[in-house]
Amino acid sequence: MALVEDNNKGRPSRAPFSERAWPVIATTLKTLGSIAVTLVGLLFITFIIGRVMPIDPVLAIVGERASQSTYDAVYDQLGLDKPLIVQFLYYLWDVLHLDFGTSLLNARPVSEDIARVFPATLELATLGIIFGVVLGVPLGVLAAVRKGSWIDQIARVVALVGYSMPIFWLGLMGLLIFYGILGWVGGPGRVGIFYVDVVPSVTGLILIDAALDGNWEVFKNAFSHIILPASLLGYFSLAYISRMTRSFMLEQLSAEYITTARVKGMSEWNVVWKHAFKNIRVQLITVIALSYANLLEGSVLTEIIFSWPGIGSYITTALLSADMNAVLGGTVVVGLIFILLNIFSDLLYKVFDPRAK
Angle at 335 between CA 330 and CA 336, to 5 degrees: 100
The 3-state DSSP class for residue 83 equals coil
Residue 18, amino acid: S
In contact, 51 and 87? CB cutoff 8 Å = yes
The tens digit of pLDDT for each residue in 127-179 reads 999 999 999 999 999 998 888 888 888 888 888 887 788 888 888 888 889 98
Q: How many CA atoms lie within 13 A of 283 on its CB side?
A: 17
- DSSP summary character for residue 176: I
Residue-level pLDDT at 265: 81
The secondary structure element, H or E, covering residue 349 is helix 324-352
Residue-level pLDDT at 241: 92
The 8 Å CB, 24+ separation contacts for 193-197 are: 195/221, 195/222
Residue-level pLDDT at 321: 76
Contacts of 315 (CB under 8 A, 6+ apart): 300, 326, 327, 330, 331, 334
The 3-state DSSP class for residue 186 equals coil
Residue-level pLDDT at 355: 57
In contact, 136 and 238? CB cutoff 8 Å = yes
In contact, 337 and 159? CB cutoff 8 Å = no
Contacts of 41 (CB under 8 A, 6+ apart): none
CA distances (Å), origin 241, targets 16, 40, 133, 346: 44, 31, 7, 19
- Distance, in Å, from the CA atom of 325 to the CA atom of 112, rounded to the nearest integer, reads 12
Residue-level pLDDT at 1: 44
The secondary structure element, H or E, covering residue 257 is helix 256-263
Q: What does DSSP say about strands 3-6 and 11-14: parallel, antiparallel, or unpaired? A: antiparallel
pTM for this entry:
0.79
Q: Please identify every stretch of the chain with a pLDDT value under 50, giving residue numbers as ranges.
A: 1-2, 4-6
Which residues make beta-bridge pairs with 102?
Answer: 109
The tens digit of pLDDT for each residue in 254-287 reads 888 888 888 888 888 888 888 888 888 888 888 8
